[in-house]
Structure 1
Amino acid sequence: MGLSIHDVLNFPQLQQMRLRAGHDNIYKAIRWIYIAENENIFEWLKGGELVFITGINHQRNEQNLLELVYQGYQKNIAGLVILTGEECIHFIPASVIAYANELNVPIVEQPYSLKMIEVTHIIGTALVELEQTQNSIADTFSRLIFANYSSEETIAIRAKNLNLNLQVSYLLVSIKMAAHDELFISDQYLDPEKKLRDKKQFLIEQLDAWANEEQLNFPVLKFGDVFVLAFPLRHEDIETWIRKMNHLILQLAEKTKPLKLYIGLSNIVQSVASFQRGFDEATQAQKLAIDLHLEHRCLPYNDLGILRLISAIPDKSVPRQFMQETLGCFFTAGKRQADIYLNTLDALVQENFNVMNTAVRLGIHRNTITQRMQKIEALTGYSLEDPKYRLHLSVSLIIWQLFSPTSLH
């Protein structure tokens, strides 16, 4: 995590600055400040800069501003700050704002009356101070997950000094970027090593921005191809975090192809001592996800029990066949009906076949659940009261969720 445009706009001294474009991309970390005094900025940028366009020493017309937006987009900058006023750029053309929104490049308007030296001093100082704080927080997080501390009391005091709340429960996540071979054996990439570095950098930047947006307490840790996050269980529950992470990973997967992302999720971490256990659990789940080829979705450690058995089966067609024999009759009813039956069965299993709790879980009337259960029994020819059939359903639903690209979760 780092200083973002969202943070800058919330500084009390900078309340005159206004966000004009790129509202969905304001959590990207600002790497540094660049004041553009040349006609073009492309060759001077490395990525992540907050670029200031003054229009004082170099006249900026509409076409030039459009070009600067495009160059900033190409270089993956944090955003553009455009000074406006009688002495510089009179106003930001509507076409520039529309183009920036199209490319999702943030544009901040700064009135000329707000002195540049004050703005850059405030942001520059915040960048340095935040980097130092984030380094300390990252070090503390790393020591927690590896149990690298002299005593629990000492690390707890350090966390408190850094405003880290260890009284909150957490979930730890391990994300592995894998399948590097596909980059190097393909003729599509002239420089696969650079492409690999670029994709890793893209992933860490996107995870950082997402962590900023979600206001995570701990920054994203990077260990080679592995990225570690901690989700606080303040308002969101476990299922909410799984949905959020799955949604994010599916978005990132499109941009990280042909590499694949494998995600493991720990059980709840509730104390200093349990951070190491949580990290080990997330890592085990992530490794099993690789073994089972379960890319681009969260695999909770809590689900590993029977998954260890499934992963030990060399021929994966065996569990698929078992799932087909148990659930295949629902697929013939059409996709919409199949989704209804499978979601109902999944909820019934989660609620130990309690009709009332299942109705609450799905937000429908208990009579509807009863009617669906009757239809399911008619389709399958089995009673849902049969313990052996319940077990078959539970195992088959797990296999379905594992191997189906349109799984229930």
Structure 2
Amino acid sequence: MSVTLKELCQKDNNKYSIKLHCRQNLLDISVAWVYLLEDIENNDFLRANELVITTGMQIHNQEDMLHLIDILAKRKCCGLILNTGRYVLDAHITDEVCEYANKLNFPLLSMPWKVHIAEIMQDFCMMLSQQALIDNTLALSFENALISPEYSESYIPTITQGGYDKDGNYCVVTITSKNSAEMTKKHISSLLPKCNIINHNNYTILVLYNEEIAEFKNILEERKRDLTDYVENVGIGSSINDLIDLHKSYRESVFAHKVATSTNVKIQYFSDLGLFRIFYETQDKSILESIAKSTLSSIIAYDSIHNSEYFETLKVYLNHGSSILETALIMNTHRNTINYRMRKIREILCKDLDDPQYIFNLMLAYNIMDYLDISTLKTN
């Protein structure tokens, strides 16, 4: 749960007289640290979400200021505070400069020369350090809630003392990314500054709380590429309204992530999994195995002995409305070959493939086998 630039600016009723020169909504961005920069060209060390403060001693004209804003935006810094009154005056922050900052979605602020830079940096860094300590404690408690729900007495007090309602609305999201865990965490924090983010088993896990659930769905609907360009797969568990059930949403999100990975989709909601949800809730998985084997064992055995493709042919055939033509196209096989296979499949099964009830049983068996294959996939 990051500290936002807006919170820093509002600290102690804006004791540092910070003035805004950009859109108000740009302040809803997380701040990682604060850095004093005077040498504009010496910026390689700057990291994402760092707040930069400068006296502007190397800013001699408007072009220099635009150049600095451009550099910091490209370095993905979270904002710039100009210490005005000596090298840079308020009058130098022209409409053109403000418009350029807004165009880049880059927060531009100023504070008067009377403010001691050492004091504001110490104050801001202390606030960031304290929040980091709180975040680490909360992250550990939320991690316990996800993987050790039986020890609720050890984590619920810490979480509720951190401002979370035991009976609030929660939803867990499981993400994998090609980037490092730390980079992924920073990127998610830039989208959802107040979200609790946990790194566990090579997953990035989001614990969404109350309005964050709607905010996350809004990102998926309206700013999808902000997330999907950065991650590989996303699994989203069900919303729950009791902190003690948080592990259920987590396990659902992990399973939804497995489905997303195995079916090559970016985002998978557990609530959209249909039959898989019923299979998931079945405590005795041997019942599912028995249903699948009793329905498909004869065709599996035939393929094993004769090295044929009847199992896969029947699956494609059923999944495409019992269409010979579509089955032939998908399997890149002549339709006469598919017709022959289907006649042979009828002989093996000794069943009428025009019987809707039997077709349902076959599709159920195939779905169970897909589910069992996915559910046995190892987590990262």
* TM-score, normalization by structure 2: 0.66
Deviation at 1:230, TM superposition (A): 2.1
Match of 2:353 in 1: none
- Sequence identity (%): 15
CA distance, structure 2, for counterparts of residue 302 and residue 171 of structure 1 = 15
Deviation at 1:304, TM superposition (A): 4.3
Pick which of 45-54 and 226-235 moved more.
226-235
**CA distance change for structure 1 residues 43 and 234 in 2, over 3 Å: closer, same or farther?**
closer
Deviation at 1:162, TM superposition (A): 2.2
Spell out the pairing of 1:301-316 with structure 2 (5 A cutoff).
301=271, 303-306=273-276
Conserved 8 A contact 1:34-1:52: yes
Question: Alignment partner of 2:98: what SS?
Answer: helix
Spell out the pairing of 1:109-188 with structure 2 (5 A cutoff).
109-147=110-148, 151-177=151-177
**CA distance change for structure 1 residues 29 and 135 in 2, over 3 Å: closer, same or farther?**
same
Deviation at 1:154, TM superposition (A): 2.9
CA distance, structure 2, for counterparts of residue 323 and residue 23 of structure 1 = 57
Deviation at 1:226, TM superposition (A): 2.1
Cα shift readout 1:203-232 (whole Å, capped 9, x = no counterpart): 4223112222xx44xx11123652211223
**CA distance change for structure 1 residues 60 and 283 in 2, over 3 Å: closer, same or farther?**
same
Conserved 8 A contact 1:84-1:92: no
Conserved 8 A contact 1:46-1:75: yes
> 1:321 aligned to 2:291?
no
CA distance, structure 2, for counterparts of residue 318 and residue 110 of structure 1 = 70
Match of 1:83 in 2: 83
Spell out the pairing of 1:2-13 with structure 2 (5 A cutoff).
2-13=2-13
Deviation at 1:59, TM superposition (A): 4.7
Conserved 8 A contact 2:31-2:51: yes
Spell out the pairing of 1:274-289 with structure 2 (5 A cutoff).
274-289=245-260
> 1:291 aligned to 2:262?
yes
Aligned residue type for 1:290: T
Match of 1:403 in 2: none
Conserved 8 A contact 1:284-1:301: no
Spell out the pairing of 1:202-351 with structure 2 (5 A cutoff).
202-212=183-193, 215-216=194-195, 219-223=196-200, 225-233=202-210, 242-254=217-229, 256=230, 261-295=232-266, 297-301=267-271, 303-306=273-276, 318=317, 321-322=320-321
Conserved 8 A contact 1:170-1:268: yes
Aligned residue type for 2:11: F
CA distance, structure 2, for counterparts of residue 135 and residue 235 of structure 1 = 19
Aligned residue type for 1:46: R
Match of 1:96 in 2: 97
Cα shift readout 1:281-323 (whole Å, capped 9, x = no counterpart): 110011012122222x3422463425899xx996785566339
CA distance, structure 2, for counterparts of residue 220 and residue 18 of structure 1 = 31
Deviation at 1:101, TM superposition (A): 1.9
CA distance, structure 2, for counterparts of residue 93 and residue 317 of structure 1 = 65
Conserved 8 A contact 1:34-1:51: yes
CA distance, structure 1, for counterparts of residue 133 and residue 34 of structure 2 = 17
Question: Alignment partner of 1:73: what SS?
Answer: helix
**CA distance change for structure 1 residues 133 and 201 in 2, over 3 Å: closer, same or farther?**
closer
Aligned residue type for 1:267: S
Spell out the pairing of 1:59-74 with structure 2 (5 A cutoff).
59-74=59-74
CA distance, structure 2, for counterparts of residue 243 and residue 298 of structure 1 = 15
Conserved 8 A contact 2:192-2:212: no
Aligned residue type for 2:225: L
Deviation at 1:54, TM superposition (A): 0.8
Conserved 8 A contact 2:174-2:253: yes
**Unpaired segments ≥5 residues, structure 2:** 280-291, 293-310, 325-356, 365-380
Question: Alignment partner of 1:264: what SS?
Answer: strand
Deviation at 1:44, TM superposition (A): 3.6
Question: Alignment partner of 1:42: what SS?
Answer: coil
Match of 1:344 in 2: none
CA distance, structure 2, for counterparts of residue 314 and residue 286 of structure 1 = 25
The alignment covers a number of residue pairs equal to: 295
CA distance, structure 2, for counterparts of residue 70 and residue 291 of structure 1 = 41
Deviation at 1:87, TM superposition (A): 6.1
CA distance, structure 2, for counterparts of residue 248 and residue 18 of structure 1 = 29
